[in-house]
Amino acid sequence: MCAVLLLCIQVEETSEVLADEAWWKHAVFYQIYPRSFKDSDNDGNGDLLGILDKLKHLVDAGVTGVWLSPIFKSPQKDAGYDISDYYSVDPLYGSIADLKRLIEEAHRLRLKIILDFVPNHTSNQHKWFIASENGEEYYKDFYVWVNGTSKKPPNNWISVFKDSAWKWSNKRQQWYLHQFLDVQPDLNYRNKDVRKALHQILIYYMDIGIDGFRVDAVPFFVEDKLLRNEPRTNKPNVQPNDPDYLNHIYTRDTDETFEVVYELREVVDNYTRLHGGDARILMTEAYSSLDKTQRYYGTYDGRRLGAHFSFNFYFVKINLNKTSSKEIRDYVETWINSLPKIYVSNWVIGNHDNSRAATRFGPKNVDGFNILVSLLPGIGVTYNGEEIGQEDGEVSFEESRDPSARNKSTFKQDSRDFERTPFQWDTTLNAGFNRGHRPWLPVSEKYHQTNLAAQKNSSSLTHYKIYREVLKKRQEPPAKYGDTNISAFSEDVLILKRSLGSSHIVLVFKFGGDKSPESERVYIPSIDCNIAKIALTNIDSDYSIGATLDPRTFVIKSHESLLLDITC
């Protein structure tokens, strides 16, 4: 009896020591776009063994975990966001056995692996949809089917990829809903069996060791039951087939959709409770207003929990030429102050759906933004390539793959292929992405100048070295636990201060506005101290790391970022 009891206590203690409830709270997640990361078998497509081969890079860089864009079986009509079997890996990327190897190796290296979960829709090639379209009893209501005549869709809803969100099925003589491509039918969340089937998928992957999920297209889960027409927006110059034509009050962020997210959280929390180990986490994708984005975290009082964090896309959406440092400060303050203290902030500057940060902010601002988002409180998210300042690639209309780029006249603004070109590893053929087979998207010519190997081996400061250093800096107490103070010194100078007692880590960043002076004299407000040590700078700074300056008065030039250690 006693022996049994002792054993129990021991087991409990071990799991307490090993389990880390809060590992994600200060994490940096690195998004890998698998098809473009590393092609191990030289067929032109990146793959899981390619990722396995490069895990060392991620460890060196100092990230906590990786999120893989979808790797599941798919006809690849929307680059894998159209899944035809959630339980198998697409042959492009490898197999479940490869995934298991990857998880094992990642865990050995203390890296977490997050999968992309796409539960709003499946591919029309998924067996559920085929069965549903055939009217098979169990699957009949797996999708959103509506009666009508083939002439007129049930209402005015418009898909994210333009045109009606309804498609007529000759087979069923009914319309089905697709908020994205017509080959991506929306699942019917009012059907309990659908929700159960989706939960099973999460459990399957947690069983093989997955640490969490990025949940795709969350606002689109549950639509208005009455199928009411959506009102028009007042946006000028918008075509009637464009999603911006309508105000999506009946198809996005509905009350029931939040419930679905809270239910997903119960699934992962129950799993962790039952199986022990570190918390399995959820990160949600929603391009929603600030209050709705924060509501995906859970209720204000914390009684219902949703995502561990819901991406904060502010920095992905701003146009720096039209944004003052005051607006950035206001947004950052509003985000932090309105998020209930039980939740953790996060900062995103890029992903596979938006022009790369280095292109949007300009290559000269790469370091400033990497430092800024790494030192804001909470979780950081890096899109692969941001650590080397990779810019958008060059892709012609003929070479393009993204379905949202299908119209030649709007291709340049709509295509997401530019941010999806292969990762630039080194100066060898195809930037080291593979051994010479034509990649699925062309490698950017810029790889000769911008690549990881050069930035690792260079004797001078590089984007990569700065990225790595600032991830280390994140671990220092003021950056981890300190107070946050952000101020707008002038039109384009931001000052971010993280303070713990008398220790301050301060970023001064002049991002270079159109109308701002080339250089200006600045000071660090509310610090009564005459010496600051320069911990880090951007690559072309006039200041040297390790030198000191007087924080009461110094000069900063456009695109310069200075990270200062101040103790007083």
Which residues does the annotation mark as catalytic?
216, 285
Report the partner that residue 98 touches, choosing among ligand GLC, Mg ion, none (CB closer than 5 to 8 A by kind). none
Report the partner that residue 476 touches, choosing among Mg ion, ligand GLC, none (CB closer than 5 to 8 A by kind). none
CA distance 229 to 304: 31
Which residues lie near Mg ion (CB under 5 A)? 120, 186, 220
CA distance 398 to 106: 37
Q: Is 353 in the site for ligand GLC (CB under 6 A)?
A: yes
Contacts with 99 (C-beta within 8 Å, 6 or more apart), sequence order:
48, 71, 89, 208
- What's the closest the beta carbon of residue 282 comes to Mg ion, in angstroms? 18
Length of the chain: 568
- The closest of 228, 278, 286, 227 to 260, measured between CA atoms, is 286
- What's the closest the beta carbon of residue 492 comes to ligand GLC, in angstroms? 31
Report the partner that residue 391 touches, choosing among ligand GLC, Mg ion, none (CB closer than 5 to 8 A by kind). none
Report the partner that residue 180 touches, choosing among ligand GLC, Mg ion, none (CB closer than 5 to 8 A by kind). ligand GLC
- What's the closest the beta carbon of residue 210 comes to Mg ion, in angstroms? 24
Do 558 and 510 contact (CB within 8 A), yes or no? yes
Q: State which residue, 184 or 415, has the beta carbon closest to Mg ion.
A: 184
Q: State which residue, 413 or 460, has the beta carbon closest to ligand GLC.
A: 413
Contacts with 105 (C-beta within 8 Å, 6 or more apart), sequence order:
52, 55
Q: Is 24 in the site for ligand GLC (CB under 6 A)?
A: no
Report the partner that residue 81 touches, choosing among Mg ion, ligand GLC, none (CB closer than 5 to 8 A by kind). ligand GLC
Total binding residues for ligand GLC by CB under 6 A? 9
Report the partner that residue 118 touches, choosing among ligand GLC, Mg ion, none (CB closer than 5 to 8 A by kind). ligand GLC
| Per-residue binding letters, 247-286, with ligand GLC (x by CB under 6 A) | --------------------------------------x-
CA distance 330 to 307: 24
Do 185 and 122 contact (CB within 8 A), yes or no? yes
Q: Give residue number: closest CB to ligand GLC.
A: 81
- What's the closest the beta carbon of residue 551 comes to ligand GLC, in angstroms? 42
- Taking CA atoms, 518 is separated from 358, 368, 491, in Å, by 20, 16, 12
- The closest of 398, 385, 372, 388 to 498, measured between CA atoms, is 372
Query: What are residue 532's phi and psi, to 5 degrees?
Result: -130, 140
Contacts with 79 (C-beta within 8 Å, 6 or more apart), sequence order:
35, 69, 70, 352, 401, 402, 420
- What's the closest the beta carbon of residue 191 comes to Mg ion, in angstroms? 12
Q: Which of residues 188-247 bind ligand GLC (CB under 6 A)?
A: 216-217
- What's the closest the beta carbon of residue 144 comes to Mg ion, in angstroms? 7
| Per-residue binding letters, 480-499, with ligand GLC (x by CB under 6 A) | --------------------
CA distance 198 to 41: 32
Report the interface residues with ligand GLC, using CB under 6 A. 78, 81, 118, 180, 216-217, 285, 352-353
